[in-house]
Structure 1
């Protein structure tokens, strides 16, 4: 529990933003690699959630490194299907 020193406690719910962002970012990257088989909905969903939790983790959570990695991998999961749709539509 928090000892009252003014630091973010490791027991707070904000401590989970970084690891959740990292996990969803990895799922988004795997789904991008398999998007020919499973479609683009899973990478878009997992990537957008990873970006959201990554941003929340950067502002509130103690695991900023995991949040940055989750933000980067989640943005790949979001941007790859968008660029694929633009490339194949024209």
Structure 2
């Protein structure tokens, strides 16, 4: 059973939000030809932000780590594609 102060705390959802947004950004980054690069950049940056907030509060660290990794990849992949193909 979760501690009462952790169950009612909105900060306990940082891990869930970051992992969901990270997966969305990674899928959207793979489909960037069809969806554009705005969605992966937005969702990825939000995932990284929520993951960092969750890691600093020490809540759901495994989910925050997944959100940080997938959100970071979701942001870096379109940036890498634009950097290599643009010019």
- Using structure 2 for the length normalisation, give the TM-score: 0.91
The match for 1:33 is 30
Displacement of 1:61 in angstroms is 4.4
Q: Which of 76, 81, 87 is the matching residue for 1:84?
A: 81
Q: Which of 50, 59, 64 is the matching residue for 1:62?
A: 59
Displacement of 1:10 in angstroms is 2.4
Determine if contact 1:10/1:62 at 8 Å carries over to the other structure: no
Counterpart Cα distance in 1 of 2:74 and 2:29: 6
Q: SS in structure 2 opposite 1:47?
A: helix
Runs of at least 5 residues in structure 2 that lack an aligned partner in the other structure: none
Determine if contact 1:14/1:61 at 8 Å carries over to the other structure: no
The match for 2:45 is 48
Greater C-alpha Rg: 1
Between Structure 1 and Structure 2, the one with more helix by share is: 2
Runs of at least 5 residues in structure 1 that lack an aligned partner in the other structure: 3-8
Counterpart Cα distance in 2 of 1:38 and 1:21: 20
Runs of 4+ in 1 over 4 A off after TM superposition: none
